[in-house]
Amino acid sequence: MKITFLGHASLLIEAANSSILVDPFITGNEKASGKINIQDLNPDYILVTHAHQDHVLDVETIAKASDAVIVSNYEIAMHYESKGLKAHPMNHGGNWKFDFGNLKYVNAIHTSSFADGTYGGEPGGFILSTEEKHVYIAGDTALTMDMKLIPASTRLNLAILPIGDNFTMGIDDAVSASNFVECDTVLGYHYDTFGYIEIDHDLAIDKFKNAGKELHLLDIGASMTI
């Protein structure tokens, strides 16, 4: 499984012959828009964790061009379906088998409204499982005890956690989250995009290292393989 960081909370996951885009916010992110061309993205699926603009900005454009299936909570899925796009609705605790593997929509503590203020359902994260690998995509969330439920059913290979603080967990809580989900390999996201969430990279990496863990921070456009 190959995971490419597209800036902020945007990811491209290539697994089991499918291309899975997560929370595309590229044209509005000046750190990413010069490096990533959304016309080059041709996903089969677009996973959306919640309705905030920094997670959905490019969903419509990319879904129209690629005919991708948008997978999100019920309200977000219906929002896009009413615009004529393909969508698969889920809700917390639910699993569905897609052609690449299984997705489970899991709890996140955050909010979820569209830019115009309309209700975007309840925010979540995803556990993406192929036959070989299991990845937790936390979405925007606080540290929550619910994370302890994940290792009860799933042995994760990678936890993708927000680390930027202010709107989500910061670094210390993300270290605790990686304990809760029992996964020592972490990809950090949702940091540095704007002033509120700028972090000290070396400090973040050291804090995970001191806890016996490895924090990956990818340049925009860079990939890791698990």
Return d(Cα 99, Cα 53) in angstroms, integer: 28
Kindly determine how many residues on this chain lie close enough to bind Ni ion according to the rule CB under 5 A: 2
Q: Which does 8 bind (CB under 5 to 8 A by kind): Ni ion, Mn ion, none?
A: none
User: Which position among 23, 58, 122, 140 is part of the footprint of Ni ion (CB under 5 A)?
Assistant: 140
Measured from the CB atom, the residue of 74 and 98 that comes closer to Ni ion is: 74
Which CB sits closer to Mn ion, 15 or 58?
A: 58
Task: Tell me which residues in 48-67 interact with Mn ion (CB under 5 A).
Answer: 52, 54
CA–CA dist 216, 224 (Å, integer): 9
Distances, alpha carbon 148 to alpha carbons 64, 102, 140, 144, 183, in Å: 37, 20, 17, 8, 11
Q: Which does 23 bind (CB under 5 to 8 A by kind): Ni ion, Mn ion, none?
A: none
Q: Does 23 bind Mn ion (CB under 5 A)?
A: no
What whole-number distance in Å separates Cα of residue 90 and Cα of residue 92?
Answer: 7
Give which of 140, 174, 137 is closest to 53, Cα–Cα.
Answer: 140
Rounded least distance, CB 52 to Mn ion, Å? 5
Nearer to Mn ion by Cβ, of 95 and 111: the residue is: 111
Q: Which stretch binds Ni ion (CB under 5 A): 84-92, 133-141, 185-193, 204-212?
A: 133-141
- CA proximity to 110, closest of 99, 122, 120: 122
Give the nearer residue to Mn ion in terms of CB position, either 8 or 213: 8
Using the minimum distance from each CB to Ni ion, give the nearer residue, 140 or 192.
140
Interface positions, 38-97, toward Ni ion (CB under 5 A): 52
Query: What are phi and psi for residue 169, nearest 5 degrees?
Result: -55, 150
List the one residue out of 8, 88, 2 whose CA is nearest residue 56: 8
Q: How far apart, in whole angstroms, are the C-alpha atoms of residue 127 and residue 138?
A: 8
Q: Does 192 bind Mn ion (CB under 5 A)?
A: no
| Residue 195 beta carbon to Ni ion: minimum distance, rounded to whole angstroms | 16
Q: What are phi and psi of 110, to 5 degrees?
A: -170, -160
Contact residues for Mn ion, defined by CB under 5 A: 52, 54, 140
Contact residues for Ni ion, defined by CB under 5 A: 52, 140
